[in-house]
């Protein structure tokens, strides 16, 4: 989650949602995102809304954070009810950060328990936490599994020490197989996060990272091109010429290598940057974002979406805690999407998925664009004829251009 909040309309302090939010809610899935805004070290590339331990106090401190988050869980339950939404059980829960596992596992379990107490979990619900290989133990992982977590996503990033160093990652590569094994032993599904295109990373480095990650037999892999965000330490280093800049062609070559090796290892792509061993092991929480389901985001800077209403919380943990302590909504701003905007978002998000975008839902000019996209090898022709616009490998690398052609041509 980037740290810069969008500009939107003011959000009311009672948090109540406009009537449209409840329309058709019973047919939509419902999930919970919990943002944990702490890290042991601030990574050079990261512009997420996260803070190191010593930076915060009051209700925003690490010690008090679980209670503050639980206050928003309870607030969320009141708002949804008060806005006329039907009671729905949680299909997915995702703890992200920051580094969720910097909090004691008991705190994460406590927040989850509060959410389950409010809404309940669907049978077979997916409950994930992100984790840094440095900040888990066999015991903490077991505790999470016992509390109801089903899945852990490790920020492995790379298997190459000099690449990890540029990224400011502190873990030693040899720790990764160990934590994967611990997670397995606890009964958790395992996902590994990788980053490619780090300054100084060769294609061979990247191949080594991929092969290493695949050798651990993960259920799921996310591989992201490094994005150099304005205002990060890495952006400054590149600007000063201390590290080389980002090259899109290098990114493209590495993406193609990733897809080749991951697919060869038996995983399949289901979103531009995500592969899973079976379709059932795709991250259902993330799929909910791309399919326009409802979710509530707990925590400072967290985004939420319910029935075409998007909002985002105040960014700073102290301001966030203060709002909740006063019984007010922590939302900083929100937007209510009209039908056209929802359609733009649908195209923008569903085009990224292997399940694709329904061609029949496109306007006339959008349908017209499909022929050109097929001709340019960006869209799978057979699936397009069956009514689904699904990107080819080349198309995935140019997904944003494809979206523009569908929407703007």
Does 206 help bind another protein (rule: CB under 8 A)?
A: no
Cβ of residue 137: shortest distance to another protein, in angstroms?
Answer: 28
Tell me which residues in 262-301 interact with another protein (CB under 8 A): 272-273, 286, 289-290, 295, 297, 301
Cβ of residue 344: shortest distance to another protein, in angstroms?
Answer: 6
Cβ of residue 357: shortest distance to another protein, in angstroms?
Answer: 14
H or E element, residue 359: none
**Number of residues binding to another protein, judged by CB under 8 A:** 48
Cβ of residue 87: shortest distance to another protein, in angstroms?
Answer: 22
Does 169 help bind another protein (rule: CB under 8 A)?
A: no
**Distance (Å, whole) CA 27 – CA 24:** 6
| Burial class of residue 35, CB neighbours in 10 A (0-12, 13-18, 19+) | buried
H helices within 89-245, ranges in order? 105-119, 138-147, 161-166, 175-185, 203-215, 233-239
Question: CA torsion 92→33→135→109, rounded to 10°?
Answer: -70
| Burial class of residue 328, CB neighbours in 10 A (0-12, 13-18, 19+) | middle
Does 6 help bind another protein (rule: CB under 8 A)?
A: yes
b/e sequence 178-199, b meaning 16+ C-beta within 10 Å: ebbebbbebebbbbbbbbbbbb
Residues in the chain: 409
**Distance (Å, whole) CA 258 – CA 267:** 11
- The residue among 325 and 401 lying less far from another protein, judged by its C-beta, is 401
x/- binding map, residues 302-341, to another protein, per CB under 8 A? xxxx----x-x----------------------x-----x
Cβ of residue 316: shortest distance to another protein, in angstroms?
Answer: 16
Tell me which residues in 390-409 interact with another protein (CB under 8 A): 396-401, 403-404, 407-408
x/- binding map, residues 212-251, to another protein, per CB under 8 A? ------------xx-x--------------------xx-x
Answer whether 60's CB lies under 8 Å from 317's CB. yes
Cβ of residue 252: shortest distance to another protein, in angstroms?
Answer: 4
Judged by CB under 8 A, which of 236, 243, 348, 383 binds another protein? 348
DSSP 65-87: HHHHHHHHHHHHHHHHHHTTPPP
**Distance (Å, whole) CA 160 – CA 140:** 27
Tell me which residues in 62-101 interact with another protein (CB under 8 A): none
Cβ of residue 143: shortest distance to another protein, in angstroms?
Answer: 27
Cβ of residue 226: shortest distance to another protein, in angstroms?
Answer: 8
Span interacting with another protein, options 123-131, 135-143, 160-168, 252-260, rule CB under 8 A: 252-260
- The residue among 175 and 229 lying less far from another protein, judged by its C-beta, is 229
- Candidates 385, 396, 393; CA nearest to 360 is 385
For residue 340, the tally of other CB atoms under 10 A from its CB is 9
**Distance (Å, whole) CA 6 – CA 15:** 18
Using CB under 8 A, list all residues that contact another protein.
Answer: 1-2, 4, 6, 8, 33, 224-225, 227, 248-249, 251-253, 255, 272-273, 286, 289-290, 295, 297, 301-305, 310, 312, 335, 341, 344-345, 348-349, 352, 376, 378, 396-401, 403-404, 407-408
């Amino acid at each position: 989650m980037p740290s810069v909040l969008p500009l939107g309309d003011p959000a009311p302090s009672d948090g109540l949602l406009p009537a449209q939010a409840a329309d058709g809610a019973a047919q939509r899935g419902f999930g919970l995102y919990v943002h944990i805004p702490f890290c042991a070290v601030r990574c050079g590339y990261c512009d997420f809304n996260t803070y190191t331990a010593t930076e915060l106090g009051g209700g925003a401190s690490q010690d008090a954070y679980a209670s503050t988050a639980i206050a928003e869980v309870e607030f969320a339950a009141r708002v949804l009810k008060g806005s006329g939404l039907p009671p729905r059980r949680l299909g997915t829960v995702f703890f992200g950060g920051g580094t969720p596992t910097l909090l004691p596992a008991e705190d994460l379990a406590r927040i989850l328990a509060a959410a389950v107490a409010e809404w309940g979990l669907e049978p077979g619900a997916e409950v994930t936490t992100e984790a840094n290989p440095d900040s888990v133990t066999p015991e903490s992982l077991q505790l999470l599994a016992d509390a109801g977590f089903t899945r852990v996503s490790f920020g492995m990033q790379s298997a190459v020490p000099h690449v990890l160093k540029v990224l400011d990652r502190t873990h030693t590569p040899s720790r990764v197989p160990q934590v994967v094994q611990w997670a397995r032993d606890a009964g958790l599904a395992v996902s590994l996060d990788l980053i490619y295109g780090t300054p100084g990373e060769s294609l061979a480095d990247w191949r080594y990272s991929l092969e290493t990650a695949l050798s651990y037999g993960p259920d799921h892999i996310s591989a992201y091109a490094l994005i150099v965000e304005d205002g990060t330490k890495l952006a400054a280093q590149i600007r000063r010429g201390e590290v080389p800049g980002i090259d899109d062609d290098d990114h493209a070559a590495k993406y193609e290598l990733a897809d080749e090796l991951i697919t060869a290892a038996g995983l399949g792509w289901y979103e531009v940057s995500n592969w899973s061993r079976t379709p059932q092991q795709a991250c259902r929480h993330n799929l909910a974002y791309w399919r326009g389901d409802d979710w509530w985001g707990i925590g400072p800077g967290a985004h939420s979406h319910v029935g075409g209403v998007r909002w985002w919380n105040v960014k700073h943990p102290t301001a966030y805690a203060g709002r909740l302590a006063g019984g007010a909504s922590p939302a900083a701003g929100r937007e209510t999407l009209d039908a056209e905007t929802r359609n733009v978002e649908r195209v923008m998000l569903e085009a990224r998925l292997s399940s694709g975008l329904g061609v029949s839902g496109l306007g006339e000019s959008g349908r017209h664009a499909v022929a050109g996209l097929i001709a340019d090898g960006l869209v799978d022709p057979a699936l397009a004829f069956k009514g689904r616009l699904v990107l080819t490998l080349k198309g995935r690398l140019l997904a944003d251009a494809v979206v523009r052609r569908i929407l703007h041509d």
